[in-house]
Amino acid sequence: MVKICCIGAGYVGGPTMAMIALKCPDIEVVVVDISKPRIAAWNSDELPIYEPGLDDVVKSCRGKNLFFSTEVEKHVAEADIVFVSVNTPTKTRGLGAGKAADLTYWESAARMIADVSKSDKIVVEKSTVPVKTAEAIEKILTHNNKGINFQILSNPEFLAEGTAIEDLDKPDRVLIGGRMTPEGQKAVAALKAVYAHWVPEDRIITTNLWSAELSKLAANAFLAQRISSINAMSALCESTGADVSEVAYAVGKDSRIGPKFLNASVGFGGSCFQKDILNLVYICECNGLPEVAHYWKQVVSINDYQKTRFVKRVVSSMFNTVSGKKIAVLGFAFKKDTGDTRETPAIDVCHGLLGDKAQISIYDPQVTEDQMKRDLAMNKFDWDHPQHLQPQSPTAFKQVSVVWDAYEACKDAHGICIITEWDEFKKLDYQKIYDNMQKPAFLFDGRNVLNVEEMRKIGFVVYSIGKPLDPWVKDLQVSI
């Protein structure tokens, strides 16, 4: 039996390995992590992450050929293939801070693999890493000259949260990069054989190591660039009376462009896009390509602009101050169908509103109060560096309440901000919500989930990203 060990039981390691175990009953898969609570949760009925369909996959293989353990060294030593799926956040200190990827976790995993291995291994980069990382990893793995053969492969993950199981079950492609030597190609074939259990052969792409590493950064940069492009258009739509949904539809009908990923929003969030683009920018700078770095940096700058623009619309529409006013924030996760809040635009919007002394009442069906408060107390980029977390500021939290019901959040509010596109927000009784709000009642739709005309008929003053402005909003705008 082939043995796989995955280091890192997070959003990628957990679901990815569960899918391999499901599709490959002849392979034993052990997912290991240094976090005891995380592993305990993977072994319980309350999995540590919310992902539609994940519970069923885990339940059907856990204890058979899928195991979760904190005995990291033991399982690494026993494995034929070791996936490394640890976090690779943005550096917050030192050289490249605010841009470069922090490879501390990766390096410590690689050193441990080198120390505990007694047999040849294929080591797979599952984490998103800077191009050329495999070269450094090779040096670390072979530093103690034990005569063990390590083959490094790059096998980046393309799943999106909220649809991880679907994406893993039917991936657009699986990408495997390896050394062009006979041993390297043998390792590529071995990993390809794992995926071939369920992925059609024409969807398994093999490349050289550097192409695979760079393709992951490039794919995320291209995806994020589409969102920043439509968000940039949304600002122009608001100034001209065009409707961004109509523009996106017309543009997306061109088969060369395609309809996906053109939803204007309050801004993209998530643990990957910003981090990976900043990493790409840093790599370009290090390679003497400032123009290329500047080009990609704009994708992040427009995203920041979009979040700031949203807050300015809220404040300026409400007579240029939200001080002491109750604002309901509907949704805190960075997208629907996940409880993940990493880099969620909700954090920036809440900070903006709190900065103007609003009282905010937040509701999200999947995010706990603790998580929200931790996020709001954190410095930028610190979410993946637990050692840098700030103590929670009691003053800021006097302005924040977290409730478990959208109607409660909106009761007596002056305004509502929709930040996450949860399906349930489309089905709320907005007449009831309106009746229980202060007047004029403001509705700021950061996800374009509501029908603007219907909301205006109820009586709301409505702002929806990239839609023709409510005359009220238009008249009260300061420059955006």
> Does 72 sit near ligand NAD (CB under 6 A)?
yes
> Does 272 sit near ligand UDX (CB under 6 A)?
yes
Judged by CB under 6 A, the stretch of 84-92, 168-176, 242-250, 288-296 that binds ligand NAD is 84-92
| Partner touching 262 among ligand UDX, ligand NAD, none, CB below 5 to 8 Å by kind | ligand UDX
CA gap 177, 213 in Å, rounded: 8
Q: Pick between residue 231 and residue 317 the one whose CB is nearest to ligand UDX.
A: 231
Smallest separation (angstroms) from ligand UDX to the CB of 129: 13
The single-letter DSSP state of residue 52 is T
Smallest separation (angstroms) from ligand NAD to the CB of 271: 5
CA gap 155, 125 in Å, rounded: 6
The CA-based angle 450-455-457, given to 5 degrees, is 150
Indicate the residue whose CB is closest to ligand NAD: 10
| Partner touching 335 among ligand NAD, ligand UDX, none, CB below 5 to 8 Å by kind | ligand UDX
Strands 415-418 and 81-84, by their bridges, are unpaired
Dihedrals phi, psi of 81, to nearest 5 degrees: -120, 125
Catalytic residue among 61, 272, 284, 350: 272
Q: Pick between residue 33 and residue 348 the one whose CB is nearest to ligand NAD.
A: 33
Nearest to 403 by CA among 349, 332, 343, 341: 332
Which alpha helices (H) appear in 322-451, and where do they start and end? 345-355, 369-377, 394-398, 406-410, 430-435
Does residue 262 sit in helix, strand or coil? coil
| Partner touching 33 among ligand UDX, ligand NAD, none, CB below 5 to 8 Å by kind | ligand NAD
> Does 109 sit near ligand NAD (CB under 6 A)?
yes
> Does 341 sit near ligand NAD (CB under 6 A)?
no
Judge whether 89 is annotated as a binding position: yes
> Does 334 sit near ligand UDX (CB under 6 A)?
yes
Sign of the Cα pseudo-torsion (360, 366, 369, 373, in order): negative
Contact 21, 6 (CB under 8 A): no
Instruction: Show the site string, 29-68: x = touches ligand NAD by CB under 6 A, - = not.
Output: ----xxx--x------------------------------
> Does 262 sit near ligand UDX (CB under 6 A)?
yes
> Does 234 sit near ligand NAD (CB under 6 A)?
no
The CA-based angle 296-301-304, given to 5 degrees, is 140
DSSP string, 392-420: P-HHHHHTEEE-S-HHHHHTT-SEEEE-S
CA gap 473, 476 in Å, rounded: 5
Structure-token match 């403001």, residue found? 442
284 is catalytic: no
Smallest separation (angstroms) from ligand NAD to the CB of 154: 12
Binding site for ligand UDX (CB under 6 A): 157-161, 220, 223, 227, 261-263, 265, 268-270, 272-273, 334-335
The set of catalytic residues is 272
List residues forming the annotated binding site for NAD(+): 8-13, 33, 38, 86-90, 127-128, 161, 272-275, 342
Binding site for ligand NAD (CB under 6 A): 7-13, 33-35, 38, 72, 85-88, 105, 108-109, 127-128, 157, 159, 161, 271-272
